[in-house]
C-alpha cells in the first residue's frame, strides 16, 4: 500500500508538470521472481520513475520500452525469461531469478476518470478490501484492450457495463479467499487473461502505551507505511513531538475506546507497562474486529489476565484466545528496545501474510514467497455433484430430510453449494424418494434420477458425472459432496476450489481423522476413473488409490457424518459441536 501511495503522489506531480506517464505492472510470473504480481512502476516521459517491478535488473529495459508506449499510446505486454535456459539472451545468468515475468506497460490518460491511477487512488481511500482487475493477452501482446480496467468492492460491484470477459463468481471467490487470482477466459484472438489483484487495507497498528520503547516500534511501522494509533493516559508521553504522524488518543481505556477503529487488518499491542491499563484495553480488544492482539511481557502476565477475566465472569472463546499473542513477537534473541520492536513488527507482518511463525528461511526447501501465480480456469468450469441417493439403512429414515439449523441436511448442502455460483449444481437422488424430489424442486437445482441406486454409491457418481459431461461440456472440474456432513459449508468448498486452482492437482480432497475424503474436487483427467467405479465404492476409494495426485485442505469436522439416530441427537443438542471445538 505504501508503494501505491508513492506512485499516486508521483503521478500527481507529473500531471502538474504536464508530463506524460505510463504504468508498468507485473501481471504474472512463472517460477521465481523478486517482485510479486501487482508490483508497479510509474514512468515519466523524462525517464524519472517511482516504484519497482524487479530488484533493479529489469527497470532499465522496461524504461526503454515505456518510452515507446508513451509515443504510440498503445499498451504492450513484455515477457522476460530470467531462467538459465539457452535462448534467453543470457538474462537468466545475470539475474539468478530463474522465472518468467510478464509486465504490462499501459499509458495513463489523465482525462480518463477510470485510468489505472484513479482506480488505485480509489483503492486507498477506504479501509475495505478491493479487487483491481487488469487484463492481458499473451497471444496478442499489443492488444489495445489490455490494461487495468476495474476496481471492485466486495458488496458493491456491477459488471453490466464491462466489455471484457469477467465472471462475478470468480470475483466472489477472490474476495472470499482473500487472494489474488489469474483466470483465463477463451476469446478472440487467443485467450484473454484477467489478473484479479486482491488489495487488503493497510495494516492498522494500535499501541497501548507511549513509553520510550514504543518509539522504535513506531519507526519501523512507519517505514512499512502502516497506519499508527497510540493510546496512553499520560499527556506528557503521548505527544506529537515524540510521535509525529501518529494518531494520538489520551485518556482512560473506557473513555477513549470509542475513538478506536478496528477491522480485520488491525493489530493491537499492549505495552503501556501499566498492568491495569493493559488489562482494560485487552478486555475491550477481545470484543473488537482486530485479528492480532499482542501482550508485551512474560507468559504469566497473559495467564494472570485470562484468570482474572474468568473470575469476572468473562468466558473467552477459542477464537478470542487464538488472537492473543503473549508474549508478543518472534524469538530473534531480542534484548534492546530496537530489537524487541523488530521482533514485534516481524510477527505482526508474518501473521497478516499467513507466514509460518517458527520457520527460518534457511531451513525452507520450498519457495521463500508464498505466491499463487497459477493461471486457472473460471469458476464456471466447475460443477458440483451432491450425492443424495443413499438408503440410510443404519438411520432408519432418509437422512436427507433430517432437520438441522432450520433446514434439512440436504437443503443446507445445496445452499452451501449454490452460493459459489459454479457452472452447474446437480443432486443425484432416487425415483422413489418423493420427499427429496419435492424439496429439490423448490431449491431450483438440477436433479439426476439414479435408477440403479441399489448398486451403491458408485452408480450415483457415474450418473452425476455423465450428466455433467453431456449437458455441460465446458465443465473441467467436479466437486463431489455428500448431504450428511453437517459442517460442510460454503467457506470450506471455496477453500477446496482455491487449493485446486493454486496447485492444479488432479484431486483436491478434505483431510479429517487422518484420512483424505469428500468433499473433494476431481479434474477432468480423473473423470474416466470416476466412471469406472463399481459397487458400493465411492470417491474416497479413488482418492486413496491416487494418494500422490491429491492436494489437501484440512477439515477436522469433516469426520462428522450422520449415520445413526444417536449421532443425529448429538448434533441437534450441540454435543458434537462442543466436542469438535474442544478438539480444535
Choose one of 318, 353, 388: the last residue of a domain. 353
Specify the pLDDT at position 339. Answer: 94
Contacts for 287 with CB less than 8 Å, ≥ 6 apart: none
pLDDT at 89: 47
Nearest to 196 by CA among 222, 175, 212, 217: 175
Q: pLDDT, tens digit, for every residue of 499-529?
A: 999 999 999 999 999 999 999 999 999 999 9
Q: Name the pTM for this structure.
A: 0.83
Q: Please state, rounded to an integer, the average pLDDT across all residues of the chain.
A: 88
Q: Looking at the structure, do residues 121 and 258 belong to the same domain, yes or no?
A: no
Distance CA 538, CA 455 (A): 11
Give me the sheet containing 446-449, strands edge to edge: 446-449, 424-429, 382-387, 477-482, 515-523, 507-512, 550-554
Q: Give the per-residue pLDDT at 340.
A: 94
In a domain, 366, yes or no: no
Same domain, 532 and 564: yes
Return all residues near 434 (Cβ < 8 A) that are at least 6 apart.
none
426 and 344 in a common domain: no
Q: pLDDT-based confidence at 565, cuts 50/70/90?
A: confident
Residue 14 and residue 120 in one domain: yes
Q: What are phi and psi of 287, to 5 degrees?
A: -100, 10
CA 78 remoteness from chain centre: 28
Tell whether 190 and 208 lie within a shared domain: no
What number of other Cβ atoms are within 10 A of residue 56's Cβ? 10
Q: Which of 172, 199, 226 is the last residue of a domain?
A: 199
Q: Which domain holds residue 312?
A: 204-353
DSSP 3-state assignment of 457?
helix
Question: Could you give phi then psi for residue 430, rounded to 5 degrees?
Answer: -110, 155
| pLDDT in the model for residue 500 | 96
Q: How far apart are CA 249 and CA 235, in angstroms?
A: 9
Number of domains in the chain: 3
Ramachandran angles phi, psi of 62, nearest 5°: -65, -35
Q: Residue holding cell 432437520?
A: 403
Residue 88 has pLDDT above 80, yes or no: no
293-302 pLDDT, tens digit per residue, is 999 999 999 9
- More confident position, 362 or 370: 370
- Do 401 and 322 belong to one domain? no
506: three-class secondary structure by DSSP: coil
Question: Comparing C-alpha atoms, which of 464, 461, 434 is closest to residue 446?
Answer: 464
User: Is residue 284 one of the residues assigned to a domain?
Assistant: yes
Q: Based on the domain organization, do 47 and 125 belong to the same domain? A: yes
Question: CA 455: distance to chain centroid?
Answer: 41
- What does the pLDDT read at residue 567? 82
Angstrom distance (rounded) from CA 295 to CA 273:
10
Give the per-residue pLDDT at 533. Answer: 93
pLDDT tens digits along 223-251: 999 999 999 999 999 999 999 999 999 99
Residues 172 and 59 in one domain: yes
Which three cell numbers, joined as nine digits, stand for 556?
477436522
pLDDT band at residue 489, thresholds of 50, 70 and 90? very high
Ranked by mean pLDDT, the top range of 56-65, 120-129, 451-460, 470-479 is: 470-479
Tell me whether residue 361 is in a domain.
Answer: no
- Whether residue 363 is predicted with pLDDT greater than 60 in this model: the reply is no
Higher pLDDT, 355 or 126: 126
* Confidence band of 39 (pLDDT split at 50, 70, 90): very high
Q: Per-residue pLDDT for 90 more than 50?
A: no
Binning pLDDT at 50, 70 and 90, where does residue 99 land?
A: confident
Alpha-carbon distances of 131 from 8, 90, 298, 421, rounded to whole Å: 17, 36, 40, 18
Report the C-alpha gap between 568 and 394 in whole angstroms. Answer: 12
| In a domain? residue 255 | yes
Cα distances from 374 to residues 103, 371, 513, 549, 575, in angstroms, run 16, 9, 30, 17, 42
Q: Do residues 520 and 539 lie in contact, with contact meaning Cβ atoms separated by under 8 Å?
A: yes
248, 314: one domain: yes
Residues 142 and 214 in one domain: no
Reading the block at residue 566, the C-alpha cell is 444417536
Is there a single domain that holds both residue 40 and residue 179?
Answer: yes
Amino acid at each position: 500500500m505504501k508503494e501505491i501511495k508513492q506512485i499516486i503522489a508521483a503521478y500527481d506531480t507529473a500531471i502538474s508538470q504536464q508530463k506524460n506517464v505510463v504504468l508498468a505492472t507485473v501481471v504474472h510470473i512463472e517460477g521465481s521472481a523478486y517482485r510479486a504480481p501487482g508490483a508497479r512502476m510509474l514512468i515519466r516521459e523524462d525517464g524519472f520513475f517511482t516504484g519497482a517491478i524487479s530488484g533493479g535488473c529489469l527497470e532499465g529495459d522496461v524504461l526503454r520500452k515505456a518510452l515507446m508506449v508513451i509515443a504510440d499510446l498503445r499498451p504492450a505486454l513484455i515477457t522476460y525469461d530470467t531462467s538459465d535456459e539457452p535462448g534467453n539472451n543470457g538474462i537468466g545468468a545475470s539475474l539468478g531469478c530463474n522465472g518468467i515475468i510478464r509486465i504490462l506497460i499501459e499509458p495513463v490518460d489523465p482525462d480518463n476518470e477510470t485510468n489505472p491511477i484513479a482506480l488505485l487512488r480509489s483503492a486507498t481511500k477506504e479501509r475495505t478490501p478491493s479487487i483491481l482487475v487488469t487484463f492481458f493477452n499473451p497471444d496478442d501482446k499489443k492488444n489495445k484492450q489490455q490494461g487495468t480496467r476495474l476496481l471492485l468492492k466486495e458488496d458493491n460491484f456491477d459488471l453490466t457495463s464491462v466489455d471484457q470477459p469477467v465472471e462475478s463468481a470468480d470475483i466472489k471467490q477472490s474476495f472470499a479467499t482473500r487472494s489474488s487470482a489469474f483466470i483465463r477466459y477463451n476469446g478472440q484472438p487467443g485467450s484473454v487473461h484477467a489478473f484479479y489483484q486482491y488489495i487488503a487495507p493497510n495494516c492498522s497498528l494500535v499501541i497501548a502505551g507511549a513509553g520510550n520503547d514504543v518509539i522504535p516500534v513506531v519507526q519501523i511501522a512507519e517505514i512499512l507505511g502502516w497506519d499508527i494509533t497510540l493510546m496512553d493516559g499520560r499527556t506528557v508521553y503521548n505527544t506529537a513531538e515524540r510521535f509525529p504522524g501518529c494518531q494520538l488518543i489520551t485518556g482512560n481505556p473506557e473513555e477513549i475506546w470509542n475513538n478506536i477503529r478496528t477491522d480485520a487488518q488491525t493489530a493491537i499491542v499492549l505495552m503501556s507497562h501499566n498492568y491495569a491499563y493493559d488489562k482494560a484495553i485487552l478486555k475491550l480488544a477481545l470484543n473488537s474486529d482486530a485479528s492480532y492482539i499482542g501482550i508485551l511481557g512474560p507468559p504469566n502476565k497473559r495467564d494472570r489476565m485470562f484468570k482474572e477475566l474468568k473470575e469476572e465472569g468473562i468466558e473467552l472463546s477459542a477464537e478470542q484466545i487464538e488472537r492473543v499473542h503473549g508474549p508478543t513477537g518472534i524469538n530473534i534473541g531480542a534484548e534492546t528496545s530496537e530489537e524487541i520492536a523488530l521482533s514485534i513488527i516481524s510477527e505482526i507482518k508474518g501473521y497478516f501474510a499467513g507466514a509460518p511463525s517458527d520457520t527460518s528461511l534457511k531451513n525452507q526447501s520450498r519457495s521463500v514467497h508464498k505466491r499463487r501465480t497459477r493461471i486457472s480456469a473460471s469458476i464456471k468450469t466447475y460443477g458440483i455433484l451432491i450425492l443424495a441417493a443413499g438408503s440410510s439403512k443404519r438411520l432408519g429414515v432418509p437422512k436427507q430430510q433430517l432437520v438441522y439449523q432450520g433446514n434439512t441436511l440436504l437443503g443446507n448442502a445445496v445452499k452451501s453449494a449454490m452460493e459459489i455460483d459454479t457452472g452447474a449444481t446437480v443432486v443425484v437422488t432416487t425415483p422413489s424418494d418423493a420427499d427429496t424430489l419435492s424439496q429439490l424442486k423448490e431449491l431450483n437445482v438440477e436433479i439426476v434420477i439414479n435408477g440403479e441406486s441399489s448398486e451403491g454409491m458408485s452408480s450415483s457418481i457415474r450418473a452425476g458425472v455423465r450428466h455433467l459431461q453431456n449437458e455441460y461440456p465446458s465443465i473441467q472440474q467436479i466437486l463431489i459432496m455428500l448431504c450428511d456432513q453437517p459442517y460442510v459449508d460454503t467457506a470450506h468448498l471455496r477453500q477446496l476450489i482455491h487449493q485446486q486452482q493454486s496447485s492444479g492437482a488432479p484431486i483436491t480432497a478434505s483431510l479429517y481423522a487422518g484420512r483424505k475424503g469428500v468433499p473433494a474436487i476431481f479434474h477432468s483427467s480423473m473423470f474416466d476413473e470416476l466412471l469406472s467405479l463399481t459397487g458400493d465404492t465411492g470417491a474416497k476409494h479413488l482418492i486413496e488409490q491416487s494418494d500422490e495426485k491429491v492436494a489437501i485442505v484440512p477439515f477436522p469436522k469433516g469426520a462428522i457424518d450422520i449415520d445413526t439416530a444417536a449421532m443425529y441427537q448429538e448434533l441437534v443438542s450441540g454435543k458434537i459441536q462442543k466436542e469438535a471445538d474442544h478438539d480444535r
